[in-house]
Amino acid sequence: MLFAAALVFTGCSNGSDSGGSTPPLPKHAVTFSVEGGNGTIKAEVDGREIHTGDTVEQGKIVEFTATPDNPATHNVDFWTVSPGPFEEGTGVSESTSAKIKVVQPATVTVKFKLTSAPPTMCTVSFGVSGTGGTLKAEVEGVEIISPAQVEKSKTVVFNAEAALGYAVEKWTNGGSDIAGETNATYSHTVTADANIAVHFKTAPVDVYVSGRSDDRAYVWINGITTELRADAPGPTVKVYPHAVRSRGKDVYIAGEEVDSGVASPRVWKKDGGPHWIGMNSYTYAYDIAFYNGKTFVAGYTYDGTDKGPSITDISDTGNPAVTFLYKQTDAVNRSRAEALCTGSGKLYAAGFKEDKITYKTTIFLWTKPDAGTVSELPLGLTGQETPLGMTYGLCTAGPSVYVAAGNLWKVDGTTVTPITVSGAKGVYALCVCNGAVYAAGQTTDGKAAVWKIEGTNASLHKELSTVYSASLALCAGRDDLYAAGFYEDTDNKYKPVWWHIAADLSVTEHKLGTEKGEARGICVTAQE
């Protein structure tokens, strides 16, 4: 019994080899930073990011990565660690990585160096001196806005767009003429700060008038006659031109060719030859406009199934695309779209619907947005016609749309405001000149005249003739207005005429031959 007790006592007496847990390894602070800026440093342990000042278990590997802010101008110069070395093969000059094994507190730094000098920038300012057009600038195909910081030795390409009736006169840098530069495009290589200006000068214009004389169709170019040719000439064929419009120096006339009373739409070029030959019969083209690189005509289309006022995209003359503004129903006797203009993201057309029971004509404004469906807005009844029938005017000024059809309306959204034009028998054409709206027509005593429209107020701008006459078309060029229509000659026949109304309100009358007829359209372009 004593022996057994002794054995038990002996087995419990020594706890030194009892098998207890291993104590944890010590941790040490690791700090790291960028000396002098121009980049960043990142540290990871076992794939986990740590921050400067964090403690890391002894024996662990810390991996550092250095990234320059702008690799095009800076890269790593050198690394430092204190105390102790970097792991073999890391932390060398110009390397983006370094590693250390933690055995004690350590501090790591990286320094970046400049690899290339930053580009030299200078300031380029530019604009239009005075008035007469606009100016844009590009560097390597990217538009810049004045004043712009442009890298030295880069080329700035300036493009000047002259307003109608103006041309580039010269270019200057800091007020001094740039020798030999009179084109619309000027390329400038940057060597120092620059202040580029384009100067415009007034330039003559060519005047195009469309109409009929002696039962034949013409476009008159500065009074010189060019006949509009029929696609299928014959004894029963007649040509009826309406509006003439320009896109740059390209000029087009909208109208129709009528064979034995059946009309087909046409658009002619300024040389009298065809630009577009519409294949639908009983179809008309009254106006033409250019928008977003496309060409549109407004009129009336009958496609064999549907009929009504229309806008047709004739950009691809072989594949015209018709948009019906309204599909005529049995309740309507006639309907047409007779004027066309562009707005911000929209095409506008003005025309009419004639009621089959009362035969009253209501004027409509149709809006065709870039996206979405066509909307229509009734304006009111047509006004007094001329002896040669009604012509329609349409223009935009800011957010407002103006429509003339004997009467005159101002449209803002869906708000329609009739405008009373004192002393007018009827107004038939509209245009905008220097931001102001002008209307052309006939006075109550039968004289061609132009009125200035300001908001919903109208005042006589200028009477154009001393004999019975009317203005059926109107356009602007520079500060001047150009009107076209007819006058009654001493033989009691109506004859074509156009007027130039200068900014000083002096009027020059241009009679277009001695035969019976009238002018229906007018436009001006930069002189060839």
pLDDT at position 169 is 95
d(CA 376, CA 368): 9
DSSP-derived secondary structure for 49-116: EE-TT-EEETT-EEEEEEEES-TTTEEEEEEEEESSPPPTT-S-TT-SEEEEE-SS-EEEEEEEEE-S
Confidence of residue 249 (pLDDT cuts 50, 70, 90): confident
pLDDT at position 15 is 40
Percent share of the chain, pLDDT over 70:
96
More confident residue, 327 or 24: 327
More confident residue, 17 or 501: 501
d(CA 342, CA 74): 53
Confidence of residue 23 (pLDDT cuts 50, 70, 90): confident
Handedness of CA 501, 504, 505, 510 (dihedral sign): negative
Give 442-470 pLDDT, tens digit per residue: 999 999 999 999 999 999 999 999 999 99
Closest CA to 335 of 378, 304, 368: 378
More confident residue, 121 or 178: 178
d(CA 299, CA 285): 4
Give 97-109 pLDDT, tens digit per residue: 999 999 999 999 9
**Which tokens sit at 172?**
């200057």
Closest CA to 422 of 471, 380, 469, 459: 459
pLDDT at position 8 is 32
Q: Is the pLDDT confidence value at 478 over 90?
A: no
pLDDT at position 121 is 86
Burial 349-374 (b: 16+ CB within 10 A, else e): bbbbbeeeeeeebbbbbbbbeeeeeb
**Which tokens sit at 266?**
């046409």
Q: Is the pLDDT confidence value at 334 over 60?
A: yes
Q: Is the pLDDT confidence value at 10 over 50?
A: no
Confidence of residue 20 (pLDDT cuts 50, 70, 90): low
d(CA 377, CA 401): 12
Q: Is the pLDDT confidence value at 119 over 60?
A: yes
CB neighbour class for 61 (10 Å; exposed up to 12, middle 13-18, buried from 19): middle
- What is the average per-residue pLDDT within 420-433? 97
For the chain, domains (ranges, CATH) are: 27-114 (no CATH), 121-202 (no CATH), 205-526 (2.130.10.120)
pLDDT at position 3 is 33
Percent share of the chain, pLDDT over 90:
88
- What is the average per-residue pLDDT within 135-160? 94
Give 162-216 pLDDT, tens digit per residue: 888 889 999 999 999 999 999 999 999 999 999 999 999 988 999 999 999 999 9
- Cα 420 from chain centroid? 34
Tracing tokens 């806008």 back to the chain, one arrives at 311
Rg of the chain over Cα atoms, rounded to whole angstroms, equals 40
Q: Is the pLDDT confidence value at 18 over 60?
A: no
